[in-house]
Structure 1
Amino acid sequence: MNRLFDKKVALVTGAASGIGRATAIAFARLGAAVVVADTDAQRGAEVVHYITGSLGEQSLFISVDVTDPDSVIKLFCGSV
Structure 2
Amino acid sequence: MVLKVALVTGAGSGIGRAVALALAKTQYAVVLAGRRAESLERVARQAGSSCLAVAADVTEPASVEALFARI
CA distance in 2, matches of 1:8, 1:64: 21
Asked if 1:11 is matched to 2:7, the reply is yes
Secondary structure of 1:10's partner? strand
CA distance in 2, matches of 1:77, 1:32: 19
| Equivalenced residues, count | 69
Unaligned runs of 5+ in 2: none
C-alpha distance after superposition, 1:12-52 (max 9, x if no partner): 01000000000101111111011111111111100000011
Structure number with bigger Rg: 1
Identity %: 46
Secondary structure of 1:74's partner? helix
* CA positional deviation for 1:60: 1.2
Computed over aligned residues only, the root mean square deviation of the Cα atoms, in angstroms, reads 1.3
Q: Which has the higher strand share?
A: 2
Code of the aligned partner of 1:39: R
Secondary structure of 2:53's partner? strand
Structure 2 length-normalised TM: 0.89
Match of 2:39 in 1: 43
Code of the aligned partner of 1:72: V
